[in-house]
Structure 1
Amino acid sequence: MAKNAPLPKPTAAELDLLQTIWPLGTATVKQAHEAMQKKRPDLTYATVLRLMQIMHGKGLLIRDESQRSHVYAPAHAQDSLRTGLLKELIHKAFAGSGKELVMAALRGHVTKKEREEIQKFLHGDEP
């Protein structure tokens, strides 16, 4: 993938699977399926397999085919993909204003504990 190429945009299901694979680092389809079943017991192995194949084709996952069971890994770091998605969201939904995004998030989407952590961060008390 070219250095300046835009990051692929995962669907909600693909992002959910990435959220499962990022902490694992790498996973076979079986491992990903087992981890996903904790949240979604209805999810079939075939669905996870197909989703991972699609994600590999889109450049969201890389695949090591040297073993009998293919091992998949995220093609992009979690922070990198999140940053790209956030930039797009700010541009599309908030007319490019990071402040508007933060204000919208703070209106009803933050717990009291999270609000306290944000306050500490803004006052430089948090690394």
Structure 2
Amino acid sequence: MTNAAPPKPTASELEMLRLLFTLGPSTAKQVHAAALETRPDMNYATVLRLLQVMHTKGLLTRDESQRAHVYAPAQKQESVQTSLLTELIQKAFSGSGKALVLAALRGGHVTPQERDEIQALLDQEK
């Protein structure tokens, strides 16, 4: 068995991961209920199938000890985010973290409160 990292999640899989990071270990029914809050068109069968595929790909773990299987992310949220961010920096910003940060700051993706938090973090690092 290899220690290869799980594959990069698709957009739909990333949506399921975000829900599971918020909910914690959950059944397909619980994930479906949470998904309905932002995607009223999402049906239960789609959620269940996505969770099953994600388990097969190694993105999720599955506890089969109960009748309703409980799914959880196979990696911590920070690990998934770091992996995706590293890929984004390499592909879109030629490996420059500075370019990514400047694009976020200039593009209106950072609120004034977030700017203050970032500045405080930078000041701490000095």
| Alignment TM-score, normalising by the size of structure 1 | 0.90
Q: Which residue of 2 aligns with 1:88?
A: 87
* RMSD, matched Cα: 1.5
Q: Distance in 2 between matches of 1:66 and 1:6?
A: 26
**How far apart, in 1, do the equivalents of 2:113 and 2:68 lie?**
43
Partner SS, residue 32 of structure 2: helix
Residue equivalent to 1:24: 23
CA distance in 2, matches of 1:66, 1:109: 43
- Residue identity opposite 2:19 in structure 1: T
Q: CA deviation at 1:71?
A: 0.9
Amino acid at match of 1:43: M
Tell me if the contact between 1:7 and 1:81 (Cα under 8 Å) persists in the aligned partners: no
Q: Is the 8 A contact 2:6 2:57 kept in 1?
A: no
Distance 1:2 1:105 in 2: 36
The worse-fitting range, judged by mean Cα deviation, of 5-14 and 41-50 is 5-14
Could you tell me which residue of structure 2 aligns to residue 2 of structure 1? Answer: 2
Is 1:98 matched with 2:89?
no
Residue matched to 2:114? 114
Deviation for aligned residue 1:76 = 0.6
1:13-47 C-alpha deviation (Å, 9 max, x unpaired):
11111111112221110011011111111110011
Q: Which TM-score applies when normalising by structure 2?
A: 0.91
State how far apart, in whole Å, the 2-side matches of 1:111 and 1:8 are: 32
Unmatched 5+ residue regions in structure 1?
A: none
Aligned with 2:42: secondary structure?
coil
Contact 1:62–1:75 (8 Å) recurs in 2: yes
Structure 2 residue ranges without an equivalent (≥5): none
Give the share of equivalent positions with the same residue, in percent. Answer: 62
**Correspondences of 1:8-87 after superposition (within 5 Å):** 8-87=7-86
**Matches of 1:62 and 1:111, distance apart in 2:** 35
Counterpart-to-counterpart distance in 1, 2:94 and 2:87: 10
Q: Tell me if the contact between 2:24 and 2:72 (Cα under 8 Å) persists in the aligned partners.
A: yes
